[in-house]
Amino acid sequence: MVEIATLATFVVAAGASLFMAWSIGAGSSGSTPFAPAVGANAISVMRAGFLVGLLGLAGALLQGQNVSQAMGRELIANVSLTPGAATLALSIAAVLVATGVFAGYPIATAFTSTGAVIGVGLALGGDPAWAKYGEIATMWTLTPFVGGFVAYLIARALRDEPLPERVIVIGLAGLVGVVVANIEFAILASGDGSASIAAAGAAFLPGPALAGSAAVTALVVLGWIGPTAVGMRGAPLRTERRFLLVMGGLVAFSAGGSQVGLAVGPLVPLGENVGVPLAALLVGGGVGLLVGSWTGAPRMIKAISQDYSSLGPRRSIAALIPSFALAQAAVLFGIPVSFNEIVVSSIIGSGYAASSGGVSGRKMGYTVLAWIGSFVVAFVASFVGFTAVQALLG
């Protein structure tokens, strides 16, 4: 039987987790996915906030387990987070993210959450998980360069048209179809695992699994290429705007799958102690993201869509395609990643593709400092704060 004190401390930690989920929904996961579409006047700010909340909830339920497990178990070795440590880490991270939301600057949620969890974990006497830190550092370092460079190349291709624009957009739709066919969903696998559309579909086809996966992937790609080809022939501008909205939806879904782990991951060990399964934690975190998106995201959507770069539909598409691919890579490998870093770097890369991109160097500088500072402040505050609490309690 679960002790009352243990259950009470879990409830307090869950409250901090919900506050963190709200802050993330109001900040990175709620604002960045549709910011390029808003900047291109393809959707209104309020409608974007509404849709991103629903899609983020879906992503949290279907793809949230990998990052949640990483945040709860893989950042610190030889120790499990206590209820007090998890509560302090989540509270500090949430306050920092909420401060960024109200100040109008996108604080990197993955940086703050990761720094806070590592800080309290080391204060508990745990050992650094160097292998995981290497994965995280690689992802964080490469993300702005890869995302920005790919977005720049796509935007340049759409602008200079080495091939007809219709051909380029159809090719991009096919590329997105390949990614969609091979990303993993919890609903497609039995037990606690996950499976991709290609893998799940291949199980129903005769012959080798690899051949079946390739066949299913080809069908999904055709499903993306067909409507895009028809639309680009009859109404190219309208088709580009619809493509942009679909990409925003995919990024919003990916944001839910990644960012919910930042909020509920530290609760994973505690949930097992009180009999709360991971699925229930994901539901709670997903609802927190949804409420945050509906109540706080419009402010940040405006900040990102208007302050970083003046985007049209083409450069917005160029920004969202690498954002989607990078987000899904992070979800697959269970790496906490900042959506602000992913989308903002892609927006900047697409903005540089044109001399009239309107990229704000001053805003970029403040943003990079906020990213670095958020990790350092969260780490130091969590380590010092939990060490002080332990000293006070003897």
- Tokens encoding 281: 């934690």
pLDDT over 90 at 154, yes or no: yes
Kindly report whether the global pTM for this prediction surpasses the value 0.85. yes
Asked whether the beta carbons of 250 and 321 are under 8 A apart, the reply is: no
DSSP for 310-376 reads ---HHHHHHHHHHHHHHHHHHHHHT----HHHHHHHHHHHHHTTSTT----HHHHHHHHHHHHHHHH
The number of residues making up the chain comes to 394
Asked if residue 107 lies in contact with residue 100, where contact means CB atoms within 8 angstroms, the answer is yes
Residue 355, pLDDT score? 58
In DSSP terms, which residues pair with 373 in a beta bridge?
Answer: none
Helix (H) or strand (E) holding 206: none
pLDDT tier at 237, thresholds 50, 70, 90: confident
CA-atom Rg of the chain in angstroms? 21
Model confidence at 84: pLDDT above 90: no
Q: Which residue has the higher pLDDT, 163 or 210?
A: 210
The answer to whether 41 and 349 have CB atoms below 8 angstroms apart is no
What average pLDDT score do residues 122-141 get?
A: 93
Residue 147 clears pLDDT 90, i.e. is over it = yes
Q: Give the per-residue pLDDT at 150.
A: 94
CA distance 346 to 36: 10
User: Cβ atoms within 10 A of the Cβ of 182, count?
Assistant: 17
Q: Domain boundaries in the chain?
A: 4-159+240-323+336-393
Instruction: Using pLDDT thresholds of 50, 70 and 90, give the confidence band for residue 261.
Output: very high
Question: Confidence class of residue 356 from pLDDT cuts 50, 70 and 90?
Answer: low
Q: Out of 20-34, 237-251, 345-359, 364-378, which region has the weakest mean confidence (pLDDT)?
A: 345-359
**What's the mean per-residue pLDDT of the chain?**
85
**Pairwise pLDDT comparison (138 vs 1), residue with the higher score:** 138
The amino acid that residue 360 corresponds to is S
pLDDT for position 287: 93
Q: Which residue has the higher pLDDT, 218 or 26?
A: 218
Dist. CA 199–CA 216, nearest whole Å: 8
Q: Are the C-beta atoms of 39 and 320 separated by less than 8 Å?
A: no
**Residue ranges of the alpha helices (H) in the chain?**
4-26, 28-31, 35-39, 45-63, 65-69, 83-103, 109-123, 130-160, 165-182, 197-202, 209-234, 236-264, 268-274, 278-307, 313-333, 339-351, 361-393
Contact by Cβ (8 Å): 119, 377 = no
Q: Which of these, 109, 22, 87, lies nearest to 57 by C-alpha position?
A: 22
Specify the pLDDT at position 20: 84
pLDDT at 304: 65
CA distance 237 to 159: 14
Q: How many CB atoms lie within 10 A of CB 195?
A: 17
Nearest Cα to Cα of residue 352 among 385, 325, 318: 318
- pLDDT computed for residue 346 by the predictor: 86
Q: What is the pLDDT of residues 299-313, one digit of tens each?
A: 777 766 665 445 677
Using alpha carbons, list the distances in angstroms from residue 279 to 82, 94, 276, 296.
20, 22, 8, 25
Q: Is the pLDDT of residue 371 over 70?
A: yes
Q: What is the pLDDT of residues 308-337, one digit of tens each?
A: 445 677 888 888 999 999 999 999 999 998
Q: What is the mean pLDDT of residues 235-245?
A: 88
- H/E run at residue 72: none
pLDDT above 90: percentage of residues in the chain: 41
Q: Which tens digit of pLDDT belongs to each residue from 177-188? A: 999 999 999 888
